[in-house]
Structure 1
Amino acid sequence: MNAPAKAADPQIAHPDIIVRRIPFKFDEGIDPVWNSARPEWSHMVNGASLTMPYLEPFLIKTVREALAQVDDAQLKSDVDGFIGQEGAHYRNHRRYNDILKRVCPELSEVEDMLTADYAKFQKRSLKWRLAYTAGFETMTIGMTEWLIRQRATLFAGSDSNVASLVLWHMVEETEHKNVAYDLYQHLYSDYLGRSWGLIVGSFHVAWMSRKGYKRLLKREGRWGKLRSRLALYAMVARFVVHASPAMLRALVPGYHPAKVSDPKWVQLWADAYGDLPDGAIPLLDTNDPEIPAQFAA
């Protein structure tokens, strides 16, 4: 039996969740190694991008189904914003992934696995699926902190289209970081279930991303080279070091995503985007080592 639904906590801040339907475009000849100084990192991001058109529709279906059981007006509004943002994310990633697959057709094998996994997950209970959703969204808080705070290291000198896509995605993950957690708590408020969802959601997406970047590295002949493998493991270690604190915080009783301070750059990005006309593509100046929040002319 579900726990009684809880009303939204009036003391928890509810930031605006703005649905920005940005039509990112990618040159058909774009180099999958979009950061020439960090090819292994480039493919780690490519592997994660490959999962988005399968992961995010699953998240959307889950919260939409849960929404039918919600009568809290604030939470309903937040869930609507979550759905709009996640929909825009996966459509842009799909356009980029289509180009990657022309370079590396083996990526379709991973897409088939993702299709099968999420079809299987869809048969699970709503509580399980919502725990997965809330768990994955919690992990992205740590990933966002890392990508934004170390953007100079990870994105400087890279292809502006890919860097801008990824960092836009992270900004919006920050804007809706409370939603899946609040929805799970509203319907179930089950600490153990949410903790299990954090582990399952995070590691499933990381594992499927690995299947993607492994194929890309094999295609380029890097997978079997010790130097490349060590560079890859160093980047994976950085991810673990920076994502783990967010996951550990989430296991502490009394945790709420709203208590996590956002990088200041997130608000600077949002302020800069507000001055752009509708339909404009906000491309960051990756030639500036600091990658400021304002967009390249």
Structure 2
Amino acid sequence: MSSGAIPVRQIPFAFSEAIDPVWHPDKPEWSHMVNGASLTMPYLEPFLIKTVTEALRQVGDPALKADVQAFIGQEGVHYRNHRRYNEILKRHYPELAEVEAALDADYRGFQKRSLEWRLAYTAGFETMTMGITEWLVHQRSLLFRGADRSVASLVLWHMVEETEHKNVAYDLYMHLYGSWWGKARGLLFATAHVALASRQGYRRMLQRDGRWARPSSRLRLYLMVARFLLHASPAMLRSLLPGYHPAKVRDPDWVRRWAAAYDGLEEGTIPLLDTADPEIPAAFPA
């Protein structure tokens, strides 16, 4: 196994207190779908970190160890940035504290399960994100054009780094266990769990906004959920094929261009994308 020198970027995303939780004014349902997913991150990603940290004690391969440590670094920056955003969401929707309490209870319970089960969950979730990344990047104009720059940039940066460490949890699980059935169960359980937890968040926000009971809003929501399933499913299905490895999956070229553009910034600069541009280029205008 070889390390690709995964970078850990210390990006301090900042969010205005006046930010509208409907950060895409033309797509309120999509805005809250993303908000619901963001709500899970400060509970999901520390669970992933704890799991791979425990598994790391059994790893002797130096390249894999370096990759796992970079995975830990990237995921730590991710959830701290999402937590900053979520605190603003909760000021608008205090009922989201109930969703957070349920997430905290879930992951505390999961922590009592075997390391093999937890690592399969971790590898399964990371596999699912590959399909999401492909969807968000390839359809970034449809999904993010005209949206608030800070939220769109947060989401797409997160997906870039998910791509950079896409091999790590898979390699770690296969190195220690290598069970096809365990990997498949982890994929299905993690995907369903995170999707349902996200739904608890966006349902409450849409209810507070008075949209949940509107047939037109519910239809737009279900169409977006269908798009998510349509684009995430191929990544999940191909991961179950013989001979699969995440490294064989070609990354979107935009991901490479984003990383190159970020390398040209001063350290600590927040990489905000131009969501007014139809192409949303991988560049960071002032």
2:11 is equivalent to residue 25 of structure 1:
no
Query: Hey, what does 1:35 align to over in structure 2?
Result: 24
TM-score by length of 2: 0.99
AA matched with 1:19:
V
Deviation of 1:29 after TM superposition, in Å, equals: 1.1
Q: Does residue 1:197 correspond to 2:197, yes or no?
A: no
Summarize the alignment of residues 100-115 of structure 1 with structure 2, pairs less than 5 Å apart: 100-115=89-104
Instruction: Tell me if 1:174 matches 2:159.
Output: no
Cα deviation per residue 1:214-240 (whole Å; 9 max; x = unaligned)?
000001000000000000000000000
Q: 1:72 aligns with which of 52, 57, 61?
A: 61
Structure 2: runs of 5 or more not aligned:
none
* Alignment partner, residue 4 of structure 1: none
Please say if residues 41 and 232 of structure 1, whose CA atoms lie closer than 8 Å, have aligned partners that are also in contact.
Answer: yes
The alignment-based identity, stated in percent, is 70
Q: What's the offset of the Cα at 1:149?
A: 0.5
Alignment match of 1:273 (pick from 262, 279, 282): 262
Matches of 1:148 and 1:15, distance apart in 2: 22
Q: Which residue of 2 aligns with 1:215?
A: 204
What root-mean-square deviation, in Å, do the aligned CA atoms of Structure 1 and Structure 2 show? 0.6
Correspondence for 1:165: 154
Q: Distance in 1 between matches of 2:5 and 2:26?
A: 36
Q: CA deviation at 1:77?
A: 0.3
How far apart are residue 289 of structure 1 and its match? 1.0
The residue type equivalent to 1:25 in the other structure is A
Cα displacement (A) at 1:253: 1.4
Corresponding residue for residue 231 of structure 1: 220
What is aligned with 1:252? Answer: 241
Report the alpha carbon displacement of residue 188 of structure 1 after superposing the two structures with TM: 0.3
Could you tell me how far 1:68 is from its partner in structure 2? 0.1
> Match for 1:221: what amino acid?
G
- Cα distance in structure 2, aligned partners of 1:59 and 1:71: 20
SS at match of 1:92: helix
**DSSP 3-state at the match of 1:132:** helix
Cα distance, 1:296 vs structure 2? 1.9
Amino acid at match of 1:212: G
Q: Identify which of 131, 135, 138 aligns with 1:146.
A: 135
Q: Which amino acid aligns with 1:147?
A: L
Q: Give the 3-state SS of the residue equivalent to 2:146 in structure 1.
A: coil
CA offset at residue 190 of structure 1?
0.5
The normalised TM-score by structure 1 is 0.96
C-alpha displacement at 1:61, in angstroms?
0.1
Contact 1:40 1:231 in 2 (8 A): yes
Counterpart residue type for residue 261 of structure 1:
R
Deviation at 1:41, TM superposition (A): 0.3
Moved over 6 A (4+): none
Q: How many residues align?
A: 286
Equivalent residues of 1:16, 1:175 under 8 A apart: no
Counterpart Cα distance in 2 of 1:77 and 1:215: 40
